Structure 1
Amino acid sequence: MTWNRPNLSRAWLLALLPVLLLCGGCGIYSFNGTNIDPTVKTFSIQTFQNSAPNAPAYLSQRFTEDIKDYFQRNTTLKLVPRDGDLQFEGTVAAYDFAPAAIQQAGTLPTAGANRLTIQVQLRFTNTKDTKQDFEQTFQSQRDFASTQDIAAVNNDLTSVREITRNIITDMFNKSVANW
């Protein structure tokens, strides 16, 4: 009897499929990189307060909703209004718009680009394992053309969300992916 290669490959795949499904469903490891204890079922996110004087008024609420959405899309945890097994609270601590690349234009130095830097302070509490609790400041930034002023950047919601999405990803990785 000769072995038919396509049938052999298919047999291996069928043999491994139950193992892969069991690993994905056990709660300790998942394919999105999370490492959540199976006893953790819920999470709560308090509205991130805005203590950055230059930040637009919408940033606090938008950031809070975006982090909720991110966790709901990437985990099986249930969002609860307060006292979740995992608890997130913090503040938008800095929203700084400053020259990033100084260039000489004639006799005067001018900005070749402007940089928006956002910092968010997070307090994370894991009620099931207090060894995982932490407080940390997360930061991300993006450069803009020197022709864009702060008002234009604040109105460019896509760019601001790109910066906050980077911060949210870092928070997610630190809190549930243990990276």
Structure 2
Amino acid sequence: MIVLPAFSLAGCGVYSFTGANITAETISIQQFYNDAEGGPPDMPQTFTNKLKDYYLSNTNLGLVDEDGELQLEGSITGYRLTPIAPTASNNDELGGNTSALTRLTITVQVTYINTEDDQFNFENKSFSFYSDFDSDQNLTAIEATLLDEIFDQIILDIFNASVANW
């Protein structure tokens, strides 16, 4: 009977539960900036921190200030409120129409550099997601919750486009 040690069957890459195959050891994520009109003043800092936390929680990468083997940088380029689901209204002041729902859409533009394998690099790639809310709600009261939901999806999309290779 021949017994092979389990570790001899493993590859050379570093794997995570997310399906990412990463051989790099470091990542640098620069502060994202707000190039959009609108949004809370702390929006870029919140996004950057959530992005860093996601990579640190879902990979074995070490975060460095600059020149990581993997590098992410970019800006928030869109913050748009759009009325959707119009409803009839008797309010002449509003022109007879109002909206039952409003959509908040955030767009983030990202540049990703993989110094180990440039075939995975992308420059100024846009990632966008939205969340709808009842137009009767005060945006200021629910904005943080909406941003969390939108940022979570955008970060997942950035992660998948960069290190998960999906």
TM-score normalized by structure 1?
Answer: 0.81
CA distance in 2, matches of 1:22, 1:115: 49
Q: CA deviation at 1:149?
A: 3.7
* Shift in alpha-carbon separation, 1:94–1:17, aligned structure 2, 3 A: farther
Given that residues 88 and 125 in structure 1 are in contact (C-alpha distance below 8 angstroms), is that contact kept between their aligned partners in structure 2? yes
Letter in 2 for 1:109: N
More displaced 10-residue stretch of structure 1: 115-124 or 100-109:
100-109
Other-structure match for 2:161: 174
Other-structure match for 1:162: 149
Aligned length: 159
Q: CA deviation at 1:32?
A: 1.9
Whose helix fraction is larger, Structure 1's or Structure 2's? 1
Given that residues 102 and 111 in structure 1 are in contact (C-alpha distance below 8 angstroms), is that contact kept between their aligned partners in structure 2? yes
Q: CA deviation at 1:17?
A: 9.4
* Shift in alpha-carbon separation, 1:98–1:17, aligned structure 2, 3 A: farther
Residue 100 (structure 2) pairs with residue 112 (structure 1): yes
Other-structure match for 2:119: 131
CA distance in 1, matches of 2:138, 2:4: 56
Larger Rg computed on CA atoms? 1
Give the alignment of 1:48-127 within 5 angstroms.
48-106=32-90, 108-127=96-115
- Which of 132, 138, 150 is matched with 2:139 structurally? 150
Q: Which runs of 5+ in 2 are unaligned?
A: none
* Shift in alpha-carbon separation, 1:16–1:152, aligned structure 2, 3 A: farther
Given that residues 16 and 59 in structure 2 are in contact (C-alpha distance below 8 angstroms), is that contact kept between their aligned partners in structure 1? no
Instruction: State, as a whole percentage, how many aligned pairs show the same letter.
Output: 44
Other-structure match for 2:27: 43
CA distance in 1, matches of 2:43, 2:127: 15
Cα-to-partner distance string for 1:113-137 (whole Å, 9 max, x where unaligned): 0110000000001111111110210
Q: CA deviation at 1:159?
A: 2.4
Letter in 2 for 1:143: D
Q: CA deviation at 1:53?
A: 1.7
CA distance in 1, matches of 2:4, 2:150: 40
* Shift in alpha-carbon separation, 1:176–1:147, aligned structure 2, 3 A: same
Q: RMSD over aligned Cα, in angstroms?
A: 2.2
Given that residues 97 and 150 in structure 1 are in contact (C-alpha distance below 8 angstroms), is that contact kept between their aligned partners in structure 2? no
CA distance in 2, matches of 1:78, 1:97: 37
Q: Helix, strand or coil: the match of 1:168?
A: helix
* Shift in alpha-carbon separation, 1:143–1:84, aligned structure 2, 3 A: same
* Shift in alpha-carbon separation, 1:16–1:172, aligned structure 2, 3 A: farther
